[in-house]
């Protein structure tokens, strides 16, 4: 679908620059409200309906402004609003589904710096909006904004027990026969939306919990902490003599973990542990297949083969992992960045829920994390971003085509080459992974040089 405003994960950008401006978000709220109201009326037939949406946000200072704009837009469209304040993205998905609402909206730019922000939508089932509904909203945004009659305006109120509901939901994804007693955890909330909900989840399941990244001030979200900066967590885990560290990102849907030695475990490794646990303790029939992305390590793919589990790659982005999981009917997938989808537990990626699945595996296997991944051979990867002319069709460049062909021959049976264009800037990403790190580096540089030699 050709998108004017929506990207692969909602609408996102720098605050104050289109489309992340208060006037645009006001029109977005009105447009989305009209589309949702029309769909609700169609579904209800002759019954009167009054749609309700839930709005959550992360801890960025711009969230106050954008929340007010969205609320006003929905109200003008005749849609009621439930406000929950700072709340992880997956919590909004859960609450939307649990309360049988028309939609859930999250004001967040995930792992980006504080001066970015964005808007994400979930449908009434707690799943990301379909392309068709996003297209309807985009079309409606460009129409003049109006307002329903005063008697039909939407109302807004706070959902006071949102945190408690979500905490209990997360805890219920951890097997009731298990406990985290005896484990000492450091939980890094990235000064983000999970700062007040993640610590109680692990504490109430029995763990000793030390919290960092839990003092948001509107400006420090993701700043040197969280899933995108796990080194600070590794340092704290070692200093505290903790068993594990759990790093979330600003909106709580990513997970990176650290063990007592300071070793960092990425999304591929954590997904592998979850799959391994399902196969051992639930049965291999519970894992029909697993979805990764084009960036998933080749070692993971080969590990799935050893477990006799089908593996497929989607485009990069958890949206595309989700789409492929729906197509296949599978429940497990993820990205090395830490987006992990366990659709047998939740409708979307959830950092807290994913951490609980990994911890359940550690408890059930009675083995530390490093041992659980000891049979997962991660191939060394080299990634090079090459700036190229915006209109370059590299597949028609003889020099680039030849360099790629030579690389494929050199890597045959030993690794793989991935070349993909960035969707947001005139950059081509060249990634090579191979058993031998030097082979990966040399091959990636040779292909990158072919791109760099293209005329401007």
Residues with catalytic roles: 110
How far apart, in whole angstroms, are the C-alpha atoms of residue 415 and residue 439? 9
Phi, psi angle pair for 362, to nearest 5°: -60, -45
Residue 89 near residue 348 (C-beta atoms within 8 A): yes
How far apart, in whole angstroms, are the C-alpha atoms of residue 292 and residue 266? 13
Consecutive H or E run containing 93: helix 89-98
Sheet of 289-293: strands edge to edge?
A: 310-314, 289-293, 332-334, 340-342
How far apart, in whole angstroms, are the C-alpha atoms of residue 110 and residue 41? 33
| Sequential DSSP letters for 269-317 | HHHHHHHHHHHHHT-GGG-SEEEEETTS-HHHHHHHHHTT-EEEEE-SS
How far apart, in whole angstroms, are the C-alpha atoms of residue 155 and residue 296? 45
User: What does the DSSP 8-state code read for residue 7?
Assistant: B
Q: Which of 138, 134, 111, 135 is nearest to 123 (CA)?
A: 134
| Sequential DSSP letters for 226-261 | STT-THHHHHHHHHHT-SEEEEE-TTS-BEEEEETT
Contacts of 375 (CB under 8 A, 6+ apart): 303, 306
Question: b vs e for 6-27, b when ≥16 Cβ sit within 10 Å of the residue's Cβ?
Answer: beebbbbbebeeebbbbebbbb
How far apart, in whole angstroms, are the C-alpha atoms of residue 87 and residue 93? 10
Helix axis angle for 298-306 and 267-281, nearest 10°, is 10
Residue 104 near residue 111 (C-beta atoms within 8 A): no
The Cα angle at residue 224 between residues 201 and 351, in degrees rounded to 5: 30
Locate 197 and state its tokens.
């909900």
How far apart, in whole angstroms, are the C-alpha atoms of residue 243 and residue 241? 7
Locate 61 and state its tokens.
């200072």
The Cα angle at residue 397 between residues 394 and 400, in degrees rounded to 5: 75
């Amino acid at each position: 679908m050709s998108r004017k405003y929506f990207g692969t994960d909602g609408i996102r950008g720098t605050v104050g620059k289109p489309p992340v401006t208060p006037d645009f978000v006001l029109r977005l709220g009105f447009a989305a409200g009209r589309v949702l109201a029309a769909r609700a009326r169609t579904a209800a037939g002759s019954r009167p309906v009054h749609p309700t949406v839930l709005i959550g946000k992360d801890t960025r200072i711009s969230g106050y402004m954008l929340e007010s704009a969205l609320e006003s837009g929905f109200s003008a469209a005749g849609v009621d609003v439930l406000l929950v304040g700072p709340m992880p993205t997956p919590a909004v998905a859960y609450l939307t589904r649990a309360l049988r609402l028309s939609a859930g909206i999250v004001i967040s730019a995930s792992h980006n710096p504080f001066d970015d922000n964005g808007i994400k939508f979930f449908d009434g089932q707690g799943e990301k909006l379909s392309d068709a509904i996003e297209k309807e909203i985009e079309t409606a945004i460009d129409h003049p904004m109006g307002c329903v009659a005063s008697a039909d305006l939407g109302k807004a109120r706070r959902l006071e027990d949102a945190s408690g509901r979500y905490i209990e939901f997360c805890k219920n994804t951890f097997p009731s026969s298990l406990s985290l007693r005896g484990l000492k955890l450091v939980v890094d909330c990235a000064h983000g939306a999970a700062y007040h909900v993640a610590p109680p989840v692990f504490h109430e399941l029995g763990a000793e919990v030390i919290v960092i990244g839990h003092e948001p001030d509107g400006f420090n979200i993701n700043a040197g902490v969280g899933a995108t900066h796990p080194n600070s967590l590794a340092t704290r885990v070692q200093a505290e003599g903790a068993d594990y560290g759990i790093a979330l990102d600003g909106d709580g849907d990513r997970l990176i973990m650290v063990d007592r030695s300071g070793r960092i475990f990425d999304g591929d490794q954590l997904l592998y542990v979850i799959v391994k646990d399902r196969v051992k303790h639930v049965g291999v029939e519970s894992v029909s297949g697993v979805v990764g992305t084009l960036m998933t390590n080749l070692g993971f793919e080969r590990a799935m083969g050893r477990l006799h589990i089908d593996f497929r790659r989607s485009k990069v982005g958890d949206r595309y992992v989700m789409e492929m999981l729906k197509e296949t009917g599978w429940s497990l997938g993820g990205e090395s960045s830490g987006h992990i989808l366990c659709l047998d537990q939740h409708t979307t990626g959830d950092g807290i829920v994913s951490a609980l699945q990994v911890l359940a595996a550690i408890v059930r296997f009675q083995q530390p994390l490093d041992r659980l991944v000891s049979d997962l051979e991660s191939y060394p990867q080299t990634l090079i971003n090459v700036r190229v002319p915006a209109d370059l069709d590299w597949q028609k460049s003889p020099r680039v085509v030849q360099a790629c062909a030579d690389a494929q021959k050199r890597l045959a049976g030993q690794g793989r080459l991935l070349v993909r264009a960035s969707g947001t800037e005139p950059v081509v990403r060249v990634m090579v992974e191979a058993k031998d790190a030097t082979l990966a580096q040399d091959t990636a540089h040779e292909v990158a040089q072919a791109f760099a030699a293209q005329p401007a």
